[in-house]
Amino acid sequence: MRIRVRRKDEGHGGGRRPASRLRGWGGVSAMAAACAVTAAAVLLPLAHAAPEAAHPAVVRQPAPVGAAPQTPWTLTDTCQDPEASLRPSAVDGPAIERIRKAGKLVAGVDQNSFKWGYRNPVDGRLDGFDIALVKAIAKDILGDENAVIYRAVPTSQRIPALQDGRVDVVVRTMTINCKRLEEVAFSTAYFEAGQQVLAPKGSPITGYDPSLKGRRICTAAGSTAEAALKAQSYGAVPVSVPNQLDCLVRLQLGEVDGIITDNALAAGQAAQDPSVRLVGSPFTREFYGVAMNKEATDLVRRVNKVLENYRAGGDNSPWMQAYVTHLKPVLPGVAGPPAPKYRDG
């Protein structure tokens, strides 16, 4: 299934030059119609927002990544063990009580990242690995996995949405790093990824290296990919967009020459469009975490408790079941979740 999203400035005639890679987009109109029917009931735009298992978890240590230049967050991250989070606890606190009183968990998610947070073309419902984790959190706190208000949050609005109280959690392939820890709190890591380059098949781009010189390279605003390109551009021409899917659309239109993004996201994009591929090696090691307001320490501990149970059970764990269902077809070979790290205080 390849998903084509029409941009606002596209016409149906209008003289825009066709892109050679735009082909095979059948069924998109039906999917869009299904999404429109369910969008109001399932997902609210951010602008309208209001404020232990029996078996041990099978977790993996970080896998090695290819040799690459030191990245900007490696240079600037001075905190020790940014992936270390508060120890898990099921004790209720003010944040948990507020969520229970509201009767809903308000979750900031993506609806355009294939296999992570996206509209399932069969029924138009939100689906994906991140959505499965949101449901597990809601089930634990509220006793109902469907007691969720989903809000579409652009990459650049993830932190402001938490700081302003418009969402309770952000579960949106969000990398844990020291800079972000100054503004929000994170759970323990629930997935390991790395930055990599996505380019059309046959492109002279070979990875995050001098082959980017003079090429238009797209990143999502506020992403670690954008930070990487600012720190070391290799002569590339940066193009910044609000959401990651916008980069794929621009690549398909021939408006950019490549994309830098998490390889976990890029694998889904490559599955949507077989005319593109990942090139080079991952040049960072990054860990996704559930982001929350810094003051909501009881919620952080509760989410970490949920993640303990989510990882437990080996091949039968909820984490592995979600991986097999959503990610294995596009990102095979993942043995299990990253091992959690904890800190006191």
Ramachandran category for residue 234: left, alpha or beta (phi over 0 → left; psi -120 to 50 → alpha): left
CB 280, CB 206: distance < 8 Å = yes
CB 119, CB 28: distance < 8 Å = no
Q: What integer best gives the mean pLDDT of the chain?
A: 82
Residue 68 has pLDDT above 60, yes or no: no
Distances (CA, A) of 245 to 8, 99, 192, 217: 14, 31, 20, 14
The pLDDT value recorded for residue 272 is: 80
Residue 115 has pLDDT above 70, yes or no: yes
Could you tell me whether strands 237-241 and 216-220 are parallel, antiparallel, or unpaired per DSSP bridges?
parallel
CB 104, CB 167: distance < 8 Å = no
Q: How far is C-alpha 88 from the chain's CA centre?
A: 23
Q: Report the chain's C-alpha Rg in angstroms.
A: 20
Global pTM?
Answer: 0.76
The pLDDT value recorded for residue 9 is: 41
pLDDT in tens, 2-54: 444 444 344 333 333 334 444 333 333 333 333 333 333 345 544 333 333 33
Of the pLDDT bands very low, low, confident and very high (cuts 50, 70, 90), residue 292 is: very high
Whole-angstrom Cα distance, residue 136 to residue 306? Answer: 7
Share of the chain above pLDDT 90, in %: 65
Say how many residues make up the chain. 345
Asked whether the CA dihedral 221, 222, 226, 232 is positive or negative, the reply is positive
Residue 206 has pLDDT above 80, yes or no: yes
Lowest-pLDDT range, 54-63, 76-85, 228-237? 54-63
The Cβ of residue 210 has, within 10 Å, a number of other Cβ atoms equal to 10
3-class secondary structure per residue, 311-328: HECHHHCHHHHHHHHHHC
The pLDDT value recorded for residue 78 is: 62
The pLDDT value recorded for residue 77 is: 53
